[in-house]
Structure 1
Amino acid sequence: MSMDELLKDLQGQRTMEEDPSHISLSSLFHESFMRQHSNHNSFEAFLEKGNFQAETHEDINKINDELLNRHVVRETDFASWSAMLDTATKEYSNK
Structure 2
Amino acid sequence: MPFDELLKELQGQKTAQEDPNHVPLGQLFNDAFMGKYSNMNSFAEFVEKGNFKIETREDIGNIPDELFDRHVARETKFADWKAMLETATKELSK
TM-score, structure 2 normalization: 0.79
Distance 1:85 1:25 in 2: 10
Partner of 1:73: 73
Counterpart in the other structure of 1:44: 44
Give ranges in structure 1 of 5+ residues lacking alignment: 1-11
3-state SS in 2 of match to 1:40: coil
Q: Provide the residue aligned with 2:29 in structure 1.
A: 29
- Aligned-residue offset at 1:93: 1.0
Aligned partner of 2:83: which letter?
A: A
1:33-70 Cα shifts (integer Å, max 9, x gaps): 00000000000100110011111111111111000000
In 1: Cα distance, 2:48 partner to 2:60 partner? 13
Please identify which structure carries the higher helix content: 1
CA distance in 2, matches of 1:54, 1:37: 19
- The amino acid that maps onto 1:30 is N
SS at match of 2:60: helix
SS of 2:55's partner is coil
Q: Which has the higher contact order (CA 8 A, sep 6+)?
A: 1
Tell me the SS of whatever aligns to 2:67: helix
Identity %: 57
Distance 2:78 2:60 in 1: 17
